[in-house]
Amino acid sequence: MPYTSLEDCLLDLEKHGHLVRIKEEVDPYLEMAAIHLRVYAQKGPALLFENVKGSRFRAASNIFGTLERSKFIFRNTLPAVQKIIALKDNPADAFKKPLANASAALSALNALPLKNPVRKPVLYEEISISELPQIHHWKMDGGAFVTLPQVYSEDIDKPGIMNANLGMYRIQLSGNDYEPDQEVGLHYQLHRGIGVHQSKANAQNQPLKVSCFVGGPPSHTLSAVMPLPEGLSEMTFAGLLGGRRFRYTYRDGFCVSTDADFVITGTVYPGETKAEGPFGDHLGYYSLTHPFPVMKVHKVYARKQAIWPFTVVGRPPQEDTSFGALIHELTGSALQKEIPGLKEVHAVDAAGVHPLLLAIGSERYTPYAQTKQPAELLTIANHVLGTGQLSLAKFLFITADDSNQLHAHDIPAYLQFVLERIHWERDVHFHTHTTIDTLDYSGAGLNSGSKVVFAAYGEPVRELGAEIPAFLEDIAVVRHAALAGKGILALQVPAFEDYAGAHSLMDALQRQLLDQAAALKHIALIVVCDDAAFTTAELNNFLWVSFTRCNPSHDIYGVGAFTENKHWGCTGPLIIDARIKPHHAPPLVPDPEVERRIDRLWEAGGSLYGWEK
């Protein structure tokens, strides 16, 4: 049977050993988040907090903490959803195999939202914002946040649920200059559907009505992060994935999900913003304080026995990683069908998703030519960078493998394949003064930075080495050198102070490395960093440091660098300056005192004692 509520889902998880109840009183200030992070890191169960300090409502987290648990939650509907998505990509199959696809057609009926004739289910009681669990995730956070919101808005030109947008845009409940219980912050980034709706409302000088649903069946949560085409209602996908039509009604002109645990309704007025943040975000750093729309609260509703779902984001991987993995399971090859020649794409979670994209394409333009070089790959790269949220990619590696044995999710093998083949003189393509992820502070300002495409194709041009060149010991600025992988060096140098100093240091380093070019013939990539031991301790460290702390146009150098007819290249290894810069956001660091306090739950008699056994 489909879940009719969040509690239905949690009881099912508990029945099958996927949930632990925490009965002790837990402080929503840092403690709940710290518990979640520790349990997630141990691949632990979903958590139901039954005694939240300062709130009468229960809270749940880590519901989607593993891909296996996420697939278990949707075990009854995943095959049908995958089949429907496949039919969209190849509709002829519906006619070729009508009986095999009949079940998919029946499932699709659940996609139609149902206007609930019962007006009261979610309206059990009206409450205030301050009655909600005020979960403060990281020490420098500006206040309490909603981290699994389903933010609903409608198109003022085409009102109604079928043209609505549902997105997961974080909501700041308290702190800063928000008037308590009367205002909340609404943070949304580039390429988000709500931005289109607000632009249309602003053009008519009208306020935008917004509803924030929290909880309800888990399909509603996942639908809010599903990358659907603009104009396609996420509520249809919620019904399809949940095996049950999305139920809603209207109250005071606001759309209300009648299955949600909580609903916050309010209005966003043209030109009205307030400072939102900081917030410990999914790149592993704080997103800082910036002006974002402020939502004037109209009413807040809670259903009977409501449960507040939340997650904690931080340096990846975290629970939101499962969303990406599940979306990949659902959509299969949909993106490849949208972009001709694209075989595979991997937004690398360990690097914060948008900073690093690995792609495999085709190279079919000149089969008659003996010399192999990127051609079709560059067309595919431009298409990728013009497609939805893929356009936020900062580093795009793209290659073609005629043997079809390379996989973008095998990161070490992929990097080795590219670094063996790339011509740094030819294959580096910059995009300057462009948009990047709102949460990425490596650029020149909010939403502003640069991109680079590394396109490699052909036979290997170098053999990658696994030894550190001995001459590096004689370079004064190199404090420590370590290997991050075959052909990849991490060099620890003095801390970054400003770009004038950085250019001076890098110019001197490049000259010394150029003098030893022969000794570097097996090195393809050099990462300059603050801590070479940390950077090379594991692959995820290398990916996080290298690609979240670099603005390509400002922080890429090269041995034997040159510019010819506005094309930049280098004859020796490429150099990425991945040191922390003064304009970067601070990294997220757990609070040691909070970590000690939550140990009580793992001690004898605590709710989490022995669960892993």
* Domain identity same for 477 and 449: no
In the 8-state DSSP scheme, what is residue 285? B
* Angle 540-226-36 from CA coordinates, rounded to 5°: 50
Domain end: 456, 488, 505, which one?
456
Prediction pTM value: 0.91
Q: Burial level of 247, CB count in 10 A (0-12/13-18/19+)?
A: buried
Give residue 577's pLDDT: 98
Domain-embedded: residue 533: yes
CATH number at 477 reads 3.40.1670
Range of the domain at 431: 330-456
* Domain identity same for 339 and 285: no
306 Ramachandran zone, left/alpha/beta (phi>0; psi -120 to 50): beta
* Domain identity same for 344 and 239: no
Number of domains composing the chain? 3
Give residue 98's pLDDT: 41
Give residue 92's pLDDT: 42
Q: What does residue 520 show for φ and ψ, rounded to 5 degrees?
A: -105, 10
CATH number at 232 reads 2.30.110.10
* Helix-then-strand count for the chain, H and E: 18, 30
Domain-embedded: residue 537: yes
Give residue 418's pLDDT: 98
Domain end: 407, 423, 456, which one?
456
Give residue 487's pLDDT: 97
Neighbours of 289 (CB within 10 A): 14
Give residue 102's pLDDT: 43
Domain-embedded: residue 609: no
Give residue 99's pLDDT: 41
Give residue 334's pLDDT: 66
Both tokens of residue 146?
A: 């909603």
State which residues of the chain have pLDDT below 50: 91-102, 613
Domain-embedded: residue 587: no
Domain-embedded: residue 317: no
Q: Burial level of 144, CB count in 10 A (0-12/13-18/19+)?
A: buried
Query: What is the per-residue pLDDT across 8-17, written as a single tens digit (0 to 9) for each?
Result: 999 999 999 9
CA–CA distance, 172 with 141 (Å, rounded to integer) = 10
Neighbours of 158 (CB within 10 A): 11
Amino acid letter, 206: Q
Give residue 110's pLDDT: 85
* Domain identity same for 288 and 152: yes
* Domain identity same for 43 and 68: yes
Q: Which of 205, 328, 348 shows the shortest CA–CA distance to 269?
A: 205
* Domain identity same for 553 and 502: yes
Give residue 96's pLDDT: 40
* Domain identity same for 158 and 263: yes
Contact assessment for residue 287 and residue 172, using Cβ atoms and an 8 Å cutoff: no
Give residue 335's pLDDT: 72
CA–CA distance, 73 with 8 (Å, rounded to integer) = 11
Amino acid letter, 148: L
SS3 418: helix
Bridge partner list, 480 = 492
Both tokens of residue 182?
A: 């009367």
DSSP calls for 211-237:
EEEE-SSHHHHHHTT--PPTTS-HHHH
Domain-embedded: residue 15: yes
* Domain identity same for 442 and 477: no
* Domain identity same for 208 and 291: yes
* Domain identity same for 91 and 208: yes
CA–CA distance, 432 with 411 (Å, rounded to integer) = 26
* Domain identity same for 18 and 44: yes
Give residue 93's pLDDT: 46
* Domain identity same for 431 and 476: no
Domain-embedded: residue 24: yes
Domain-embedded: residue 214: yes
Contact assessment for residue 101 and residue 86, using Cβ atoms and an 8 Å cutoff: no
Give residue 592's pLDDT: 96
CATH number at 379 reads 3.40.1670.10
Query: What is the per-residue pLDDT across 447-456, written as a single tens digit (0 to 9) for each?
Result: 889 999 999 9
Contact assessment for residue 547 and residue 442, using Cβ atoms and an 8 Å cutoff: no
Both tokens of residue 98?
A: 């009508």
Domain end: 394, 427, 456, which one?
456
